Amino acid sequence: MNARKNNRGDKPLAGNKVLVVEDIDLLGKLTTRSLRKLGADIEFCKNGQKAFDLVQSALADESMPKESKSLIRFVDCEMPVMNGKEAARRI
> If one looks up domain 17-90 in CATH, what number appears?
3.40.50.2300
Q: What pLDDT score was predicted for residue 18?
A: 92
Per-residue pLDDT of the chain (91 residues; tens, 9 = 90+): 344 455 557 899 998 889 999 999 999 999 999 999 999 999 999 999 999 999 889 888 776 666 554 577 777 888 888 888 888 888 7
Query: Residue 43 forms beta bridges with which residues?
Result: 19
Q: What pLDDT score was predicted for residue 63?
A: 66
Q: What pLDDT score was predicted for residue 2?
A: 43
Would you say 86 and 32 are in contact if contact means Cβ atoms under 8 Å apart? Answer: no
Closest Cα to residue 27, out of 73, 72, 74, 71? 74
Q: What is the pTM of this model?
A: 0.74
φ/ψ region of 86 (left if φ > 0, alpha if ψ in -120 to 50, else beta) reads alpha
